[in-house]
Amino acid sequence: MGHAMTLDSQQAAVELYQILQELDPSRWRAELEQTIRPRLSALHQRIRDLSAKADSPALISVRERLADLAHLLEQTIPTPDLTHAQRRWDDFRLKVSPAYEQLAASLAHLDIHVPSLRPTNYARNLFHVGNAVFCLVLLQVILNEWTAIVVTISVASAAWTLEISRRFMPGLNSLLMKIFSPIAHPHEAWRINSATWYTTALVFLALIQDLSIASTAIIVLGLADPAAAIIGRRFGTVKLIHGRSLEGTSTFVAVGTIAAFTWLMVAYDFSPSTALTWAIAGTIPGAIAELFSRRIDDNLSIPVSVATGLLLTRAVLGG
């Protein structure tokens, strides 16, 4: 009974995830209101039934999350209205997304995994790019191989200290999520946030002691990842895995290759053929890492994969 309940809860969560994805601002269409309302009504009843049936001690947390979600849906599903439909449904999405992530966290404790929401967030995309530019300036102008190690370890240590502290201090967690709300994903209130994983990746890149590899990994993450997210959410129709699309992954490869190729030629005076070889050898592993990242944050997996591809290329071809 317990196993069947968790699977039913997983299916309900996935259905809600799909609805919230369809309500993403980049995918909004006027006809969505007619199709989503009956789906939500049926899902609401299904979640209410599940919360009443989940009486196993192991499912207490899931039952509470389902009950909270059922109550929230009852209160927030917009009433039929022809005016300001997109704004009303976007408000609904913003209110329900945290409750979905809480349910996902409860299911994860039972080793039942559902996708995390990654809504369109142009401020976060710009932050990605700006952060990459900032790191590149540090590496090119201020730091060297050894000082980069000291700085990245210091920053990562501070990030992990905050990460651990907010687990024991709910007030600190609430404050940090409020400060970073314009760029944070909903699941980061309960999971290790992307910035912490990014600073950890920077330590790995610094320890390589090759600024050309480190900076290329940073620029691929900083430009290709947000480009893939924007195109994938807006135009992605050919689904691959873990919520990724062929359009988004193709964009990652194209943008990452062009960015890395240009960077290696301009900053490190690589020949066109060598720069192109390195760009492809770094971007392809990065795209694969982005495609398969689920439990490991792609702010860690992408730069580590790019750097690994470049290290292997250097070992084979020299340079």
Q: What is the CATH number of the domain that holds 74?
A: 1.20.120
Q: Considering 63, 79, 108, which residue would you say is the last residue of a domain?
A: 108
pTM more than 0.95: no
Radius of gyration of the chain (CA): 22
Residues 51 and 151 in one domain: no
In this structure, the answer to whether residues 89 and 136 fall within a common structural domain is: no
* 104 and 191 both lie in a single domain: no
Residue 117 belongs to a domain: no
Check residue 1 and give its pLDDT. Answer: 47
Per-residue pLDDT of the chain (319 residues; tens, 9 = 90+): 456 677 888 888 889 988 888 888 877 787 787 888 889 989 998 888 888 776 666 678 888 888 889 889 888 888 876 677 788 888 888 888 888 888 888 888 888 888 877 777 888 889 989 999 999 999 889 988 899 999 999 999 999 999 999 989 988 888 988 888 888 877 787 788 899 999 999 999 999 999 999 999 999 999 999 999 889 888 878 888 877 889 999 999 999 999 999 999 999 999 999 999 999 999 999 999 998 887 788 999 999 999 999 999 999 887 6
Domain boundary among 108, 139, 161: 108
Query: What is the residue whose two structure tokens read 């909903």?
Result: 186
Q: Where a domain ends, among 108, 141, 174?
A: 108
Q: Do 54 and 203 belong to one domain? A: no
For residues 138 and 90, membership in a common domain is answered with: no
Ranges of beta strands (E only) in 255-308 are none
Q: Does 46 fall in a domain?
A: yes
**Exposure string over 54-91, b if 16+ CB within 10 A, otherwise e:** beeeebebbbebbbebbebbeebbbeeeeeeeeebbbe
**How many domains does the chain divide into?**
2
Task: Give exposure, 96-120, as e/b (b: 16+ Cβ within 10 Å).
Answer: bbbbbbbbbbbbeebebebbbbbbe
Residue 300 belongs to some domain of the structure? yes
- Domain shared by 37 and 178, yes or no: no
Whether 67 and 213 map to the same domain: the answer is no
Are the C-beta atoms of residues 215 and 140 closer than 8 Å to each other? Answer: yes
User: End-to-end distance of the chain based on CA atoms, in angstroms?
Assistant: 60
Give dist(CA 72, CA 160) in Å, integer.
Answer: 33
Question: Does 134 share its domain with 183?
Answer: yes
Q: Are residues 13 and 127 in the same domain?
A: no
Is residue 68 included in any domain, yes or no? Answer: yes
In a domain, 258, yes or no: yes
The residues near 117 (Cβ < 8 Å, ≥ 6 apart) are 17, 20, 21, 97, 100, 101, 185, 186, 187
* Domain extent for 95: 2-108
| pLDDT score of 120 | 77
Same-domain pairing of 309 and 247: yes
**Token pair 């700006």: residue:** 130
Query: Do the domain assignments include residue 245?
Result: yes
Q: How far is it, in rounded angstroms, from Cα 310 to Cα 298?
A: 18
All residues at 6 or more sequence positions from 188 whose CB lies less than 8 Å from its CB, including other chains: 177, 194
